[in-house]
Copies of this chain bind each other. A is one copy, B any other.
């Protein structure tokens, strides 16, 4: 077991928390799990699932087991060090501020038409909402070998995701009608 010291990032913990739920998963499986769960709170590009577990394994937080034929998949598991680090992080109080990133709003700042931007967002959040409600239904029947009772935390985050997208739809809808709620000085 290697010991190359690395910095554990939030993405590291995202990977580890998925592995805790689904020990021995392949990168591809991790990617799919994420898409149906924490994607809404912590987006991770798919290449990360090939690079990050390798990094974590090199530092001793995961153990790897590679197939010798075919796709030569690697299956990863948490080591004790990994599990300890994960629990320590999860139990530590406080977290850095959340971030919202929206290029469309930036365009509005730069002078683009707010109506069009907001409408685009409304559509997108509606789509995500429908998607999540589908996942929620799926969750109850267990999912890819996971049992319902293992989903305590994950289920809470799906509910959170639904609440989030719903709130965003409502917010943008309220901003739509006239997006200068008062300040529009009748100077003209």
Instruction: Name which residue of chain B comes closest to A106, CB basis.
Output: B42
Does A54 make an interface contact (CB < 8 A)? Answer: no
Is the Cβ of B100 less than 8 Å from the Cβ of A104? no
User: Does B160 lie within 8 Å of A175, measured CB to CB?
Assistant: yes
Asked if A25 lies at the interface with its beta carbon under 8 angstroms from chain B, I say: no
Q: Which residues of B contact A159 (CB under 8 A)?
A: 175, 179-181
CB–CB A102/B98 < 8 A: yes
Check: A50 CB closer than 8 A to any chain B CB.
no
Residues of chain A in range 134-188 having any CB-CB distance to chain B below 8 Å: 136, 140, 152-157, 159-160, 163-164, 166-168, 170-171, 174-175, 179-181, 183, 185
> Number of copies of this chain in the oligomer?
2
A101 within 8 A of B: yes
Q: Does A40 contact B (CB under 8 A)?
A: yes
CB of A109 to closest CB in B, whole Å: 5
User: Cα distance A44–B166 when bound, in Å?
Assistant: 27
A41 surroundings in chain B (CB, below 8 A): 100-102, 105-106, 109
CA distance A110 to B151 in the complex (A): 10
List the B side residues contacting A20 at CB < 8 Å.
Answer: 110
The answer to the question of A13 belonging to the interface, with a C-beta cut-off of 8 Å to chain B, is yes
CA distance A157 to B106 in the complex (A): 8
What are 24 A-B pairs at a CB distance below 8 A?
A: A10-B106, A17-B106, A40-B100, A41-B100, A41-B101, A41-B106, A42-B106, A90-B112, A94-B120, A95-B103, A95-B104, A97-B124, A99-B100, A100-B100, A100-B164, A109-B153, A109-B156, A111-B153, A156-B180, A159-B181, A163-B174, A163-B175, A166-B171, A167-B168
